[in-house]
Amino acid sequence: MSQSVEQFFEELWNDYIQLAPSAAKVHQVLGKGRPIINDHVAFRTYNIAPVRLATLAQHFEAMGYQACGNYVFEAKKLVAKHYEHTDPNLPKIFISELLVEEFSPELQQIVRSCVSQIDPAAVERPDFMYSGVHWQLSSTDYEKLLAESEYAAWLAAFGFRANHFTVNVNELPDFESLEAVNETLKQAGFRLNSAGGEIKGSAAVYLEQSSTMADQVTVRFSDVEKVIPGCFYEFAKRYEIRPNELYTGFVAASADKIFESTNVHSTESSAKPE
């Protein structure tokens, strides 16, 4: 029952790379075989019992994490919190939750039906955080969710697992800037999220972020299989808020665009040729 924190993050990573196969290649390109330090891991949920943000956060509180920042995303109808650990080697945790009651009755009905299929006892186990989907979902219901909220649809398709890990760029020995990281990634063939510019934030807000677009993965819905955006990798460079003290929070305006890394990209867009 009491698995170690290291084991938890290892299992979480192993689950994540199945839906973000690019992540292993990112490590090769940026780390050249050396270990990569992660800045944070992000999770998504619905604000419905038994999977509310506050309930899922208990797994991290049990590991010694403490609640720090609160964030609101009005247009996307989301709220989020981040958690920090006193052990600097452990990644920060960012958990968001969708305000389901603010959507159409149709969306609410699909989401409530999914959540009602979860065994509440399963939520209490730490492995719930990489347990995936607990429900049957048709591709038509997925499309209905997608029409209103990319977030609602992603969560219904993939369930509970790391949405992304984030490379701590400050700890990358070979890269001075996030621009340099982005250029290396693009040269290696990765598609970056350009919503709001490839780099979100700046030194003025003490945080710069970029991310890949999610890998396309095959999901078996109750009726058919579809290829849809899975998980992505993020890159964060933090700046000092005081001498020798890096900013540890998040920036809502930047996060708002990072969420779009799992958007279904239009075929009309200016995506580079493969």
Q: How far is CA 96 from CA 76, 181, 197, 266, in A?
A: 11, 26, 22, 25
Give residue for tokens 């938890």.
Answer: 8
- Cβ atoms 142, 157 nearer than 8 A: yes
Question: What, of Ni ion, ligand OOG, none, does residue 96 touch, CB below 5 to 8 Å by kind?
Answer: ligand OOG
- Cβ atoms 232, 42 nearer than 8 A: no
- In the bound state with Ni ion, the residue whose beta carbon lies nearer, of 41 and 152, is 41
Residues lying near ligand OOG in the complex (CB under 6 A) are found at 42, 44, 94, 96, 163, 209, 234, 250, 254-255, 258-259
Rounded to a whole number of angstroms, the minimum distance from the CB of residue 273 to ligand OOG is 26
Question: What, of ligand OOG, Ni ion, none, does residue 44 touch, CB below 5 to 8 Å by kind?
Answer: ligand OOG
Q: Does 42 interact with Ni ion (rule: CB under 5 A)?
A: yes
124: left (phi over 0), alpha (psi -120 to 50) or beta: alpha
Binding region for Ni ion (CB under 5 A) out of 34-42, 60-68, 151-159, 263-271: 34-42
- In the bound state with ligand OOG, the residue whose beta carbon lies nearer, of 90 and 255, is 255
Question: What, of Ni ion, ligand OOG, none, does residue 182 touch, CB below 5 to 8 Å by kind?
Answer: none
- In the bound state with ligand OOG, the residue whose beta carbon lies nearer, of 106 and 249, is 249
Q: How far is CA 223 from CA 136, 140, 218, in A?
A: 10, 9, 13
Give 185's contacts (C-beta < 8 A, 6+ positions apart).
26, 29, 30, 192, 212, 235
- Give the total of residues touching Ni ion (CB under 5 A): 2
Q: Using CB under 5 A, pick the residue from 97, 208, 215, 234 that binds Ni ion.
A: 234
Give residue for tokens 């940026």.
Answer: 30
- In the bound state with ligand OOG, the residue whose beta carbon lies nearer, of 13 and 222, is 13
